[in-house]
Structure 1
Amino acid sequence: MAAICVFCASSRTLDRRWLDLAAETGAEVARRGHTVVSGGGCVGMMGALADGARAAGGPTLGVIPQALVDLEVADLASDELLVTDGMASRKTLMIDKSDAFITLPGGLGTLDELFEVWTTATLAMHAKPMVLVDADGFYRPLLDWLHTLADQHFLKPAGLNLLTVAQSVPEALDILESRLI
């Protein structure tokens, strides 16, 4: 059983399809016998992710800064909820507690988490697999820009290749599981 960290949005104003994608992700991670590691929130895609995992019988681990606990957005139903003193320590703890990473659609916070885990991988601070789920082409503009960075030598091809892109959640988990063996 692996601890799979899922980065995703916590916005309360998202289209239903994104909430459904998050719930599907949590359920699929749980069905495959893994633990969902999340940002510890109970709202938006993050909440749907954890609810999906628990509905499928899987354990959840949330990591949340005290400031968000104070805003009453903590996933108090989490099997384990770790509270940090800030966002930076939250990311560090999420990376430490996880064996692999999936990034779903999201905004600035999701991108911050993706780039943190990816940057630390390029610096050989960990060798944990990472998959970006490009559902409905959500990340296509970002991926095009990243390829431009590589083309202009701001990003080494080896660094670019550390992040795998999948079109669906089952594909993302198949990729991660093949790399966790």
Structure 2
Amino acid sequence: MERLAVYCGANAGQDPAYSEATILLGKTMVRRGVELVYGGGRLGLMGIIADTVLAEGGRVHGVIPEMLKDLEVAHTGVTKLHIVQNMHERKARMTDLTDAFIALPGGVGTMDELFEAWSWNALGYHNKPFAILNVGGYWDSLIAFLDTMSEQGFVSAERRKHLIVSDDIDDCLDRLAAACNTEAGSFTW
């Protein structure tokens, strides 16, 4: 795994554990030689992950729509800032640039990105693994709902297993890397 797309909030949230986990994820990524792909913002957890990776000597690829750049929320200190026309292009470019996806705490945008990565995978547009880093149980209710969707027959048990869930950064990154390193011919989502 050379690049990891990190989906996370443009706010830092109420619990300091979210920022702490974001910093630790950024440091761990650089230690492992993994570059960051993210939404290109300078605010909230997005800014924290970018600043951490940069401070640790890592490479950061931000992808931001023109509108958000014009609102001055773009992080201008990243290694490479890709400016796109809209949110659809943002998600497509991030998918092209990354080897895997991970969701930290965030809001509607984070959920949109995670679910689009999952649905594109299910439809065969990519074969890249995706995960939730469940910091402080933030995603517990969503995970329970996804289990309900599976139990009720709207998501197959096999498809539900594709979403990696962990509350441990090293475990999560190890599982994503293992999924990336499996030969495409023998590994199917």
TM-score (norm 2): 0.91
Number of matched residues? 181
Amino acid at match of 2:158: A
Of the structure 1 ranges 12-21 and 25-34, higher mean CA displacement relative to structure 2 is found in 12-21
Q: Which residue of 2 aligns with 1:74?
A: 74
Secondary structure in 1 aligned to 2:132? strand
State how far apart, in whole Å, the 2-side matches of 1:14 and 1:81 are: 28
C-alpha displacement at 1:180, in angstroms? Answer: 2.2
Q: Determine if the alignment matches structure 1 residue 39 to structure 2 residue 35.
A: no
Please list the CA deviations of residues 53-100 of structure 1 after superposition, one character each: whole Å capped at 9, or x if unmatched: 111111000000011101111011110000111111101111111101
Contact preservation (8 Å) 1:121, 1:162: no
Partners in 2 of 1:12 and 1:45 — Cα distance?
5
Summarize the Cα distance change of 1:105–1:13 in structure 2 as closer, same or farther, 3 Å threshold. closer
Matched, 1:177 2:177: yes
Report the CA distance between 1:156 and its aligned residue. 1.4
Instruction: Describe how 1:80-159 pairs up with structure 2 within 5 A.
Output: 80-159=80-159
CA distance in 1, matches of 2:15, 2:140: 19
Identity of aligned residues (%): 37
Residue-by-residue CA offset, 1:38-65 (whole Å, 9 max, x unaligned): 0000110000001111111110000000
Q: Which runs of 5+ in 1 are unaligned?
A: none
Q: 5+ unaligned residues in a row in structure 2: which ranges?
A: 182-189
Superposition TM-score, scaled by structure 1 size? 0.95
Once the 2 structures are TM-superposed, how far is the Cα of residue 9 of structure 1 from its aligned partner?
0.3
Amino acid of the structure 1 residue aligned with 2:16: R
Query: Any idea what SS the aligned residue of 2:20 has?
Result: helix
The answer (yes or no) to whether the contact 2:12–2:18 under 8 Å persists in 1 is no
**Partner of residue 48, structure 2:** 48
Runs of 4+ in 1 over 6 A off after TM superposition: none
- Checking the alignment, whether the CA contact within 8 Å between 2:10 and 2:43 is kept in structure 1 is yes
Task: State the Cα deviation string for residues 118-172 of structure 1 (Å, max 9, x = none).
Answer: 0011112111111111111111110111111111111112221111101121211
Give the Cα separation in 2 of the matches to 1:16 and 1:151.
34
Distance in 2 of aligned mates of 1:13 and 1:120: 28
The answer as to 2:4 corresponding to 1:4 is: yes
Q: Distance in 2 between matches of 1:89 and 1:153?
A: 32
1:30 and 2:66 correspond: no
